[in-house]
Amino acid sequence: MQIDELLKIMVEKNASDLHLRVGSPPMFRIFGKLSAIKDLPSITNQDSELIYELITTQVHKKTFAENLELDCAYSVPGTGRFRINVLRQRGTLAFAIRLVPIIIPTIDKLKLPPICKELILKPRGLIIVAGSAGSGKSTTMAAMIDHLNETESKNIITIEDPIEYLHRNKKSIIAQRDLGDDTKSFELALLHTLRQDPDVIYIGEMRDLTTISMAIRAAVTGHLVLGTLHTTSASQTIDRIIDIFPAGQQEQIRVQLSQVLEAVLMQCLLPRIGVEGRVAAFEILVATSAVRNLIRMGKSHEIPNIIQLGAQDGMQTMDQGLANLVKNQLVTRENALLKSSNPAQLLKLL
């Protein structure tokens, strides 16, 4: 079974993901739902071994042999670019493949909150986009970076694992570094990035103590730092950042975070009404003086109340975001309720 042909089908069907496992036919995720394409045969062990040989380099093979885990990028000329995760299951190779769109969607096309245009033009600070895996965080970041690229002259450096959207220089210049191919670790890349005269630094995933620590350090020293986290609310994002540090450092980190944080955008995806595709709902936390004070005092549990009453500052709760999508007839009431953490509150807003 030819991997390039499967990837062409993936693009033709407008699938976001392709899953290949021995003993099962290729499974495509189309607008959030997994389905098989009629007449495609099941993947054999020979198929999976051949696919692995085609998509990997010697460096990739060495990494996979050491870790039994691999993230890499793969391109098919005339078709597209793909992010591939290789795993072992029941002694066989399996693949989770995500399509990386060639054209970067705009903030307006994605119907992102208008405040995204303001936030990305901040001269310094820390902006976090949070959400579960597959919630569109990378797409949101790509749209915001592209808006900056078209608006101002900046030196933008991204550190990604792997690179997803390919940016070209417009008003800004952009260096995109791929973990594994262009740098050995987020830690090393961030350390040296601070010596490369950056204006904006994008960290593909703030995944550990070292990365989060250096992100805050970069923001403290006057850079605009963008990053993503796998969290499910703005207040949980604050707690996650602080709790990852040893107890003896947490008070200092609260102070630093209260000084540099600009915003937290937490998002989830819902099926759109009437057309194929999905739209994002957002919880928006803007670092006002009240929010900074709560972070500094360790009272992040009070942040949801600030968000609920902070519309004049551009803030909204997830339920408020979901309600707006329903009122604008972009998503159904039923799908909005499924994504709500407080359905009773959402019904009241509706």
* 229 C-beta neighbours (distance < 10 Å), count: 21
Q: Look at residue 262 in the predicted model and tell me its pLDDT.
A: 98
Q: What span, in angstroms and rounded, lies between the C-alpha atoms of 25 and 9?
A: 13
Question: Nearest to residue 274, comparing CAs of 341, 335, 348, 347?
Answer: 335
Task: Please identify, in words, the CATH class of the domain defined by 115-316.
Answer: alpha beta
Please report, for the chain, the start and end positions of each structural domain, with discontinuous segments joined by +. Answer: 3-100, 115-316
**Fold assignment, 3-100:** Beta-Lactamase (3.30.450)
Tokens describing residue 350: 């509706």
* 278 C-beta neighbours (distance < 10 Å), count: 18
Q: What span, in angstroms and rounded, lies between the C-alpha atoms of 17 and 157?
A: 27
Tokens describing residue 268: 């989830």
Q: Look at residue 72 in the predicted model and tell me its pLDDT.
A: 87
Which amino acid makes up residue 262? E
Q: Where are the alpha helices (DSSP H) in 284-317?
A: 289-296, 303-308
Q: Look at residue 212 in the predicted model and tell me its pLDDT.
A: 96
Tokens describing residue 170: 């417009």
pLDDT tens per residue, range 10-21: 999 989 899 999
Q: What span, in angstroms and rounded, lies between the C-alpha atoms of 167 and 102?
A: 9
Q: Scanning the structure block, which residue is given the tokens 């933008």?
A: 156
Q: Which residues of the chain have pLDDT under 70?
A: 1
Radius of gyration of the chain (CA): 21
Give the CB-side neighbour count of residue 314, counting CA atoms within 13 A: 17
Tokens describing residue 184: 């050995």
Q: What span, in angstroms and rounded, lies between the C-alpha atoms of 261 and 252?
A: 14
